Structure 1
Amino acid sequence: MELQPNERVSIELGEDRVAQVRMIRADKMNALDPEMFARLIEAGQALHEMKGLRAVVLSGEGRSFCAGLDLSSLGKGESSETGDLTDRTHGNANRAQQVAMQWRKLPVPVVAAVHGVCFGGGFQIASGADIRVIAPDARLAIMELKWGLVPDMGGFALWRGTARDDVLRELIYTNREFNGVEAGEFGFATHVEENPIERATAIAEEIADRNPHAIRGAKRLANAMFDEDTDHLLMEESREQHAIIRTPNQMESVMSHMEKRKANYRDV
């Protein structure tokens, strides 16, 4: 099933319940102008409400994943944000932060497939994914200090637990460019692959073949790890397991393995 493209983002949900989400502003290397911000948020809302969704692959068409902020839109007096940036327009986030944070907020895992250029806001969008597959020759940078700004699309929240603290600080302070191999060494890349979309899709398909209720519960727990204390996390584990154990999908996981067949899960 393919949803109608919105001129910036396309969504295609396959029979495997994996959604291929692509930024399709290829002529501008998927750079972020106000329209791209709006359409990415629109796509995130559509995914959040999508029935039967089990995993997402996020990528960019053309030569790059996302080149970051479209500087030409600044020259026209346009901005990705209007008003007070401290206004929380999307739960705990403002509009620009939601563009990156929404991938972490989705109830299902998101796998980013990164190739070409991935700078600034584009890098923060990729950081919102649960898993990142990055091409070895990809060009990445936390670019904001080049323009006298700080990263402000959720990066500081999303980078917790990825790169070593001093490495992350150097990359932020200097806006030094690095490649996909280095991204793997630093901790940003889950996998470094010549064909990131192929590997990302394989991972998403494997996730989609698991109990969808358990996958969503595991993502909720993973998201809570850096924010909650031990006592709260232990209780949340117990609550999630109590809600899943002996349900039809959990029993189907057991039976399909015992009978050596593909599981037939009930969609969330």
Structure 2
Amino acid sequence: MTDEQIRTEDRVRYTITEDGIADVRMVREDKMNALDDAMFEALITVGQEIAANNKVRAVVISGDGRAFCAGLDFGRFEAMKGGAIRAVSQRDPIGPAKATGQQAPHVWTAMPVPVIAAVHGFAFGGGCQIALAADIRIVHPDTKMSLLETKWGLIPDMTGTQLLAGLVRRDVAKELIYTHKIVDGVEAERIGLATHTSQTPYDDAMALAKEIASKSPHAIRHAKVLTEMAGRASLEEGFDQEQVAIKDLIGTPNQVEAVTAGMSKREAKYADYDG
């Protein structure tokens, strides 16, 4: 079966729970979910499908088998040696992401709802960059994480150079990239590369997603937009967008439900996002 004939579900599968959680799994288990052309395309396609589904309130992305994602498929390195690699996708760009390798992680950063990466085994190179694209990373203590690209004479070109410096100190980001240092989950949490460590990252990610999904989807979507702006837009623009968001929320059915449920000390029942 050629890459062109491989179906999305041969690389990435997902289900949506009754709570509105998109449970996304990379399923190329025999290759530790390594990134080939089909995996890139599957990540983008699935991400776009989920982003367009207003019933989704949170996303958990994980990898089947022994690893979250071991990075670039070695077949692509061979293709680079021969100059046969395809550098840029013909897809419509996702926001500022132009190349396929950028779109595959950026589709998760651009997701209108929170994305949680449940990371175990290995998250190397492009796999690490997919994890960086999530809002929150829950990582097994024994996980090995690294931006390995300089080992192969490359740079982290799947949005990694831009995302990493927003998570760790800039000097730490430079050290990680320059040296392709491998860190375990404990060290990743200490430096800010991981949000939390857990012996059961997938279970904890799903539990956190369920908690997020229990909140007003309108408020959560606005909160994601605003926190993504922080440090990337001017303070004035951030303040302005806070006011836009609060005016969009006050008095809406879900906001009224939040107040009513809180005052009544009962669980809120929120309507799905309606665009």
**Fold match by TM threshold 0.5:** yes
Task: Give the corresponding residue for 2:58.
Answer: 55
Correspondence 1:10 to 2:18: no
1:178 maps to amino acid? V
2:110 maps to amino acid? K
- SS in structure 2 of the partner of residue 35 of structure 1: helix
Contact 1:80 1:96 in 2 (8 A): no
- How far the C-alpha of 1:90 sits from its partner, in A, is 3.0
For residues 25-59 of structure 1, give each alpha carbon's deviation from its aligned partner in whole angstroms, at most 9, with x where no partner exists: 01100000001001110111111111311000010
Contact 1:5 1:11 in 2 (8 A): no
Moved more, 173-182 or 150-159: 150-159
Task: Give the corresponding residue for 1:262.
Answer: 267
Using the aligned pairs only, state the percent identity: 45
Task: Give the corresponding residue for 1:69.
Answer: 72
Which stretches of structure 1, 4 residues or more, deviate above 4 A after TM superposition? 76-81
1:26 to 22, 25, 29: 29
2:27 maps to amino acid? I
1:147 maps to amino acid? W
Contact 2:61 2:118 in 1 (8 A): yes
For residues 155-207 of structure 1, give each alpha carbon's deviation from its aligned partner in whole angstroms, at most 9, with x where no partner exists: 12212331112111111001011100000011011111010011111111110
Task: Give the corresponding residue for 1:89.
Answer: 93
Correspondence 1:139 to 2:144: yes
2:129 to 121, 124, 129: 124
Moved more, 236-245 or 161-170: 161-170
> Structure 2 stretches of 5 or more lacking a match?
1-6
> Structure 1 stretches of 5 or more lacking a match?
none
- How far the C-alpha of 1:246 sits from its partner, in A, is 1.1
- How far the C-alpha of 1:255 sits from its partner, in A, is 1.3
- Partner Cα distance (2:129, 2:95) in 1: 18
In the alignment of these two chains, the number of paired residues is 264
- Partner Cα distance (1:146, 1:116) in 2: 20
Contact 1:37 1:80 in 2 (8 A): no
Contact 1:12 1:20 in 2 (8 A): yes
- Partner Cα distance (1:79, 1:89) in 2: 24
CA pair 112-83 structure 1, distance change in 2 beyond 3 A: closer
Contact 1:104 1:128 in 2 (8 A): yes
Task: Give the corresponding residue for 1:38.
Answer: 41
- Partner Cα distance (2:116, 2:103) in 1: 17
TM-score by length of 1: 0.93
